[in-house]
Amino acid sequence: MTKEIPIANWPNGGYGKVVQVHVDDKPYLRFRPDHSSNCFHGSILKDFLEELKLPYKTTRDIDRGFPDPNGERYSVAGMGWYHVDQTNKRHIEFEGSSAAYDLGIDKKHLDDIVRLCPEFDLKYGEENDSKNILVI
């Protein structure tokens, strides 16, 4: 059984990378500021899986021996970038993708987060805009 951990490690500001992952069918968001060491999507995923003591296989196609995007108890839904609005820190924008994993931000996963955290409000960007904004 997965130990009780927060659904997200919400950022306080700035920008960086985000990983969207399901563990035992429960959605999680993991953020890492761009200025921190090991700011790679694979590092974020690896650290999260190791925190949960979940086994994973690595793939040769991804640098640095990072975890496969899918394992026995987890699956990566999306990866990309986040940016916290400096004028309204309750707004987090999601966009982009991971070049190493060839995955972008998954809107359904963000919807799943909002369902578990009804105090949050998810706003999508314009129809042709790749940004998604999560209001926390």
Give the separation between CA 46 and CA 59, rounded to whole angstroms: 12
Task: Examine the pLDDT at 60 and tell me if it is beyond 70.
Answer: no
The predicted model scores a pTM of 0.86
Q: With respect to residue 2, please indicate whether it lies within any of the assigned structural domains.
A: no
Q: With respect to residue 4, please indicate whether it lies within any of the assigned structural domains.
A: no
Q: With respect to residue 34, please indicate whether it lies within any of the assigned structural domains.
A: yes
Q: With respect to residue 47, please indicate whether it lies within any of the assigned structural domains.
A: yes
The whole domain housing 71 covers: 15-135
Q: With respect to residue 32, please indicate whether it lies within any of the assigned structural domains.
A: yes
Q: With respect to residue 69, please indicate whether it lies within any of the assigned structural domains.
A: yes
Give tens-digit pLDDT for 97-111: 999 899 999 999 998
CA angle 33, 36, 42 (to 5 degrees): 80
Q: Which token pair is 6?
A: 């927060």
Q: With respect to residue 71, please indicate whether it lies within any of the assigned structural domains.
A: yes
CA 20 to chain centre: 3
In the chain, the number of structural domains is 1
